[in-house]
Structure 1
Amino acid sequence: MPLSQPPDLHEVAAAVRAAAIDEGFSACGFAPAVDSQGFTELVEWIEAGYAAEMGYFANRLDAYRHPAGVLPGARAVIVLAFPYPAANPASNEELPDGGVHGRVARYSWSGLDYHDVIHPKLKRICKLIRGLRPESHARGIVDTAPLMEREVAQLAGLGWRGKNTLLLNPVMGSYFFLACVLVDIELPADTPFEPDHCGTCTACLDACPTNAFVGPHVLDASKCISFLTIESRELIPEPMRAGIGDWVFGCDVCQEVCPWNRKPTRRAMAAEGMRDARQMAPTQTVRGRMELLRLFSLDDESFRKQFRDTAMWRTRRRGLLRNAAVVLGNVGDVDCVETLMIGLRDSESIVRAACLWAIQKLLVHADSNEARTIQEALARFRLQETDPIVLAEFD
């Protein structure tokens, strides 16, 4: 009996597209593995200091030159889009009575860490490819490897890079995750997405609460609310705190104002986003809102139990409490001071410093007796404090 021939590369590509649909991806495109055209811009962005604390860009800089820095011998990149819910966030009238609520970015609404949702899908697609072409190697990634994902996605025909630096698709908008599968076989490439449909619109640039955009397509991460509330491990700089507003985890402002995210077809497509995710835990968020005061009662173990498998684990307890304190300072009232006083006894200095700032912000809403009581309590805390970060807030 003659041996059967392995499927040709077009048949492999067709099988991958079908599998991508079965896995819940809303788009799939193929790009050649080539030198990054945006590498020089990346170097300039890092040298300008716009990467802030994200030293991993500079530490892995050479790997960004070519997809082979992620998979040796890479010849093609399969780019996949996985949608997440884009319904309007809950209004204050829809929230449970009591407490103060902060907004969280849409991508975290599912209650799951999206890496845990998407990685198994990529592994199954890699397994499919190796099964069809046993000589091949494949690696799936979700925003943790040194790859110019948005540039590759444009090469794969999935959309264009908007002025807010995010990938925009004329049907899906931008409320989706990008994932990639790198392979060392030369799959047929799709037509790159050439048009830029942003035109003269600057809605995203104008709406940013912290003026994080240096210009179109250039983001200063040190001013970005998403960076400050998720990636940063430091105390949020004082000039940025008011701009945080009520965002306790991430920010969607530059996406919310984008006309491409307001199209009815986009909202309908996103209704089933993260379809594999479990129902949101009411102790975490209620359609984009998180109750903040309760966070200050969580120790490390209780925080781990509630957030270990969620996107919010990225901030760790200290980061989320830091953020909550800043939001309370921005939108809370004097009744929140009692909870913030608990934060002044926290073991983490950035939590104590953020709580101190918030208390002093809320003092303006206190009557004379309340203000005197609060000031006396702060004076006692001041005598016990030794950390320079917190002392700087006192002074």
Structure 2
Amino acid sequence: MNKEQLTYFIKEKAKEYSFIGCGISRSRFLEEEAPKLEKWLKEGYHGNMKYLENNFDKRLNPGLLVDGAKSVISFLYNYYPQEKQNSESYHIAKYAYGEDYHLVIREKLQKFVEEIQNKVGQFSYRVFTDSAPVMERTWAQKSGLGWIGKNSLLLSKQKGSFFFLAEIICDLELNYDEAFPTNHCGSCTRCMDACPTQAIISERVIDSTKCISYLTIELKDQIGEEFDGKLKDWIFGCDICQDVCPWNRFSTPHTEDKFNPHPDLLSYTKNDWNDINEEAFKILFKNSAVKRTKFSGFQRNILFNKKT
């Protein structure tokens, strides 16, 4: 199987695995991203996420993650739900409605790799989905899957932004896609204007320490009083900048059963959330990314919203 045939096989197989996008980039050192990342870290915009200071070179060079890396295969996987929470309730980010995406997508990618190996034999690879020092949005843009919007998320004219990113970094030589050439945000600033904590401090630059997702997930300390009244009923993550994005009018419901929420999640009222106990939390969020906060962190988020 030559590289043209293998590239075609990979892209067709991606559709079978329900990925809504697949693009391929040549592995290389991301020289142009180095000063941006360095400045962002120096400004302290990563907050308590100290792990982002580690593996600086690995974030910029896939060859340090996979020996002899030649290709970065990028994927998009839809998570936009068919049904959403009661709008009058506390909110959980849509990506966390169902099972933890890390587990769901990693399993798919491992099976995907096995199918490639059945065609070409053993090769060096690693699979990723928000799980290692990989600049996922940059690689997706370089593989032609979309552009990076003002809210720093990857945007697609056809699919919006309610999708996960994932990668296979490998030593296979493949045909490479052209980088996505244009930015289609134009003069629109809806995401920047809608952010209640003003976390989008300039185009494609996020101060994580002000981001509601950071405050409700990554932050392990108490949420600062300066955010009183600004979390807007979000208790795990936040979708505000995506919900207001005009390109998300093209979002369509996913087809992944594992991303469907526990039925109670959609019907819970604020009173239900206020009264939730640890046993109910474990049942409601079994195998869910929400468990990252632990019950104590989840309660903290509810109480912070309740008091304001």
TM-score (norm 2): 0.94
Tell me the residue number matched to 2:40.
45
Please state how far the C-alpha of 1:248 moved relative to its aligned partner. 0.9
Q: Within 2, Cα distance between the matches of 1:234 and 1:285?
A: 28
CA gap of 1:125–1:8, structure 2 versus 1, over 3 A, is: same
- Matched residue of 2:52: which SS? helix
Please state how far the C-alpha of 1:291 moved relative to its aligned partner. 3.5
Please state how far the C-alpha of 1:150 moved relative to its aligned partner. 0.6
- Output aligned runs, 1:320-335, within 5 Å: 320-330=298-308
Q: Within 2, Cα distance between the matches of 1:29 and 1:59?
A: 27
Q: Within 1, Cα distance between the matches of 2:4 and 2:124?
A: 17
* 8 Å Cα contact 2:23/2:140 also seen in 1: yes
Q: Within 2, Cα distance between the matches of 1:69 and 1:117?
A: 26
CA offsets per residue over residues 66-123 of structure 1, 9 Å max, x none? 112322221101100000125574445xx7xxxxx301111112x2111121111100
* 8 Å Cα contact 2:81/2:260 also seen in 1: no
Is the radius of gyration larger for structure 1 or structure 2? 1
Residue of structure 2 aligned with 1:108, choices 96, 105, 108: 96
Residue of structure 1 aligned with 2:172, choices 175, 185, 202: 185
Residue of structure 2 aligned with 1:293, choices 253, 274, 281: 274
Q: Within 1, Cα distance between the matches of 2:282 and 2:307?
A: 25
Q: Within 2, Cα distance between the matches of 1:120 and 1:136?
A: 18
Residue of structure 1 aligned with 2:51, choices 51, 56, 65: 56
Tell me the residue number matched to 1:130.
117
Tell me the residue number matched to 1:34.
28
Tell me the residue number matched to 1:349.
none
For 2:139, the aligned partner's letter is: V
Q: Within 1, Cα distance between the matches of 2:2 and 2:14?
A: 19
Q: Within 2, Cα distance between the matches of 1:290 and 1:165?
A: 34
Q: Within 1, Cα distance between the matches of 2:108 and 2:202?
A: 36
Tell me the residue number matched to 1:17.
11
Structure 1 unmatched ranges of 5 or more: 1-6, 96-100, 331-395
Residue of structure 2 aligned with 1:235, choices 210, 222, 232: 222
Q: Within 2, Cα distance between the matches of 1:44 and 1:276?
A: 41
* 8 Å Cα contact 1:214/1:220 also seen in 2: yes
Tell me the residue number matched to 2:108.
121
For 2:41, the aligned partner's letter is: I
CA gap of 1:87–1:304, structure 2 versus 1, over 3 A, is: closer
Residue of structure 2 aligned with 1:73, choices 50, 68, 71: 68
Tell me the residue number matched to 1:163.
150
* 8 Å Cα contact 1:9/1:187 also seen in 2: yes
Q: Within 1, Cα distance between the matches of 2:260 and 2:165?
A: 23
Please state how far the C-alpha of 1:229 moved relative to its aligned partner. 0.5
Q: Within 1, Cα distance between the matches of 2:268 and 2:29?
A: 41
Tell me the residue number matched to 1:318.
296
Identity percentage over the alignment? Answer: 35
Please state how far the C-alpha of 1:278 moved relative to its aligned partner. 6.0
Tell me the residue number matched to 2:257.
276
Q: Within 1, Cα distance between the matches of 2:175 and 2:264?
A: 47
* 8 Å Cα contact 1:30/1:79 also seen in 2: yes
CA offsets per residue over residues 204-259 of structure 1, 9 Å max, x none? 11110101011111000000001111111111111023211211111111111111
CA gap of 1:70–1:287, structure 2 versus 1, over 3 A, is: farther
* 8 Å Cα contact 2:86/2:268 also seen in 1: no
For 2:298, the aligned partner's letter is: L
Q: Matched residue pairs, number? A: 307
CA gap of 1:17–1:317, structure 2 versus 1, over 3 A, is: same
Q: Within 2, Cα distance between the matches of 1:285 and 1:34?
A: 44
Q: Within 2, Cα distance between the matches of 1:240 and 1:25?
A: 37
Please state how far the C-alpha of 1:131 moved relative to its aligned partner. 2.3
* 8 Å Cα contact 1:89/1:289 also seen in 2: no
Tell me the residue number matched to 2:209.
222
For 1:102, the aligned partner's letter is: Y
Please state how far the C-alpha of 1:284 moved relative to its aligned partner. 3.4
CA offsets per residue over residues 123-146 of structure 1, 9 Å max, x none? 011112222222421211101111
- Matched residue of 1:243: which SS? coil
* 8 Å Cα contact 1:103/1:289 also seen in 2: no
Q: Within 2, Cα distance between the matches of 1:287 and 1:172?
A: 29
Q: What is the alpha-carbon root mean square deviation over aligned residues?
A: 2.0
Residue of structure 2 aligned with 1:251, choices 238, 241, 244: 238
* 8 Å Cα contact 1:69/1:146 also seen in 2: no
CA gap of 1:250–1:214, structure 2 versus 1, over 3 A, is: same
* 8 Å Cα contact 1:76/1:182 also seen in 2: yes
Tell me the residue number matched to 1:352.
none
Q: Within 1, Cα distance between the matches of 2:270 and 2:120?
A: 47
Tell me the residue number matched to 1:383.
none
CA gap of 1:136–1:215, structure 2 versus 1, over 3 A, is: same
Structure 2 unmatched ranges of 5 or more: none
**Is 2:78 the counterpart of 1:83?**
yes
Please state how far the C-alpha of 1:307 moved relative to its aligned partner. 2.4
